[in-house]
A and B are shown apart, each in its own frame.
Chain A
Amino acid sequence: MVVPRTDFPILNREIHGKKLVYLDNAATTQKPKVVIDAMNNYYENYNSNVHRAVHLMAGEATDSYESCRTTLKNWFNAERAIFTSGTTEAINLAAHAWGKENLRSGDVVLMTEMEHHSDIVPWQLLADDLDIELRYIPVKEDFTLDLEAFDASLDGVKLVCIVHTSNVLGVRNPIEYVIEKSHSIGAKVLIDAAQGVPHKQIDFEKSGADFMAMSAHKMMGPTGIGALLVTEEIFQSMRPFMGGGDMIQTVTLKGSTYQDNEHKFEAGTPKIAEAIGWKAALDYMANIDLEAEHSRLVEIAKWTSSQLEDLGATIYGRYSEQDAAVVSFLFDNLHPEDLAHYLDAMGFAIRTGHHCAQPLLERLGVKGTARASFYLYNTMEEAVEFIEAVKYVLEKFG
């Protein structure tokens, strides 16, 4: 069952006088009314700071905020869930709070050419500070990771950072293999799950990963909040890098002691409304058959990619069962930026550019692609309309 379009107020708006067809879901997803209402309800009825004051509203706010953490831990089967501003901050937190404490000069951090900038730049910055070595697993012609190269690159590796699902290719990586192999040599594994969690309820503990980073806004929650899931072992080996209120037990002028729960990594007033919105999104997702929906969306992506290919496009993706419904493509005779503007004029929202994955684009030998990404509220009819719109643009400007 497609989630009711009416659950998403924004989908009723018009774009340049045309019906909106939103196909930029890999950038951010739209929010169901229950998420917006939950956040409004907090601001309208019990806006208060959390964890401290004894008054009623502070108690309500604290319970609602912490219930997001509980829901999150249950949803992902994780021992520890640290709130961050999103995937980027989650990975930076891992780099600062764990990397600085546990990596030494000469240690290797292994990444992939497929990583989003948010899973490359924090480690490059850390390398400047710690003199660690960075290696990258190449991407093959078939858009998958070169696992032989991965196997051959493990010497000295202390941390493997791998994107669960590529935001450009939609390819879902063999994280199970990577985790098993990495653990066999004693390396930890960080999963950038920003594009994975919107489509699948990942069991963090079962996956065996040590860290998992995500953003709420890619899974119908608000912007401004995400999480870093970590194992208890990792949690105990991390040192706070942001100090301030809410994360301390005692502060004296000689020194401070820290909370022993996740709060120790969440200095300052946290993202209260955002957490409440995220919980509403997770509750909403709990009523959806994600597996069935994912299969439906991959079928739509597969159909869309084959239609685009018939129209002469080069396709960057493969659409296996577990891949995301992301269609990256290019036409020789039509610049993606032009296409995106023309499509926008007809009500279609797609993304163009390097998608914050410049090393991957360089590997593919292109400067950017056009990308249509589908989510739960998208339909086959919209894909058909999209293809008709692309045909129209090609006839006019191609």
Chain B
Amino acid sequence: MNEALEEILDEFEEIEDRMEKFEFLHDLSDELNQLPTEEWTDSTRIDGCQSEAHVKVWIDSGLVQFRGGADASIVAGLMGIISIAVHGQTVEYVRALQPEFLARTGLLNSLTPSRSNGFRNIFSRVKIAIGE
């Protein structure tokens, strides 16, 4: 796990109050390389989210590139975490990464994949884009 991701997961673990966790998550949406709404298409849409969520993932010189956008702040924040996790990382590194790290944030009410705010679906999109 990269250092920046470790840091934010540590930070989440230190925050006890759930509302403060959300405030922190809200700030993380700033870390996201925005995918402008003009570039939102059916192929960028993430299904299974209550919000409109779009991501674009590609590989440039062996490094994973991630951009995303969502109309719900929490989803944008979750994309921010994924961005920190994968953007600029090697394909091999991202291939080895499993989505379970999100549990450390303490944000999930349910571990059922379909109830994870589309997080798993967004993460799966990354995996598909790198040919997994």
Contact = CB atoms under 8 A, between A and B. Distances in A.
Nearest to B19: A345
Contacts of B39: none
B23 A396 contact: yes
Nearest to A336: B50
A91 B75 CA distance: 36
B16 to A, nearest CB: 9
Nearest to A396: B23
Contact of B50 (A16, A368, A396): A368
Contacts of A341: 22, 74
B50 A353 contact: yes
A337 B70 CA distance: 11
Contacts of B21: 345
Interface in A329-347: 335-338, 341-342, 344-346
Given A344-B109, A353-B50, A337 B19 contact: no
A337 B26 contact: no
A368 B51 CA distance: 9
B108 to A, nearest CB: 11
A337 B22 CA distance: 13
Contact of B72 (A17, A337, A346): A337
Contacts of A367: 50, 52
B22 A345 contact: yes
A337 B23 contact: no
A332 to B, nearest CB: 11
Given A342-B19, A352-B50, A335 B71 contact: yes
A342 B71 CA distance: 16
A397 interface: yes
A25 B7 CA distance: 40
Contact of A335 (B19, B22, B72, B109): B72
A335 B18 contact: no
B73 interface: yes
Interface residues of A, number: 17
Interface centre among B18, B26, B52 (most CB of A within 10 A): B18
A346 B19 contact: yes
A352 B51 CA distance: 10
Contacts of A368: 50
A368 B22 CA distance: 22
Contacts of B74: 335, 337-338, 341
A243 B109 CA distance: 40
A396 B74 CA distance: 13
A352 B49 CA distance: 11
A342 B22 contact: yes
Interface centre among A336, A338, A342 (most CB of B within 10 A): A338
Interface in B25-66: 26, 49-52
Contacts of B49: 337
A17 B23 CA distance: 18
A338 B72 contact: yes
B15 to A, nearest CB: 12
B35 to A, nearest CB: 17
Contacts of A345: 18-19, 21-22
Interface in B85-120: 109, 117
A337 B117 CA distance: 9
A104 B40 CA distance: 45
Contacts of B75: 337
A367 B50 CA distance: 8
Contacts of A397: 26, 73
A292 B97 CA distance: 57
Contacts of B50: 336-337, 352-353, 367-368
Interface of A: 16-17, 335-338, 341-342, 344-346, 352-353, 367-368, 396-397
20 contacts: A16-B18, A17-B18, A335-B51, A335-B71, A335-B72, A335-B74, A337-B49, A337-B50, A337-B74, A337-B75, A337-B117, A338-B74, A341-B22, A342-B19, A344-B18, A344-B109, A345-B18, A353-B50, A367-B50, A367-B52
Closest 4 CB pairs of A and B: A335-B72, A345-B18, A337-B50, A337-B72
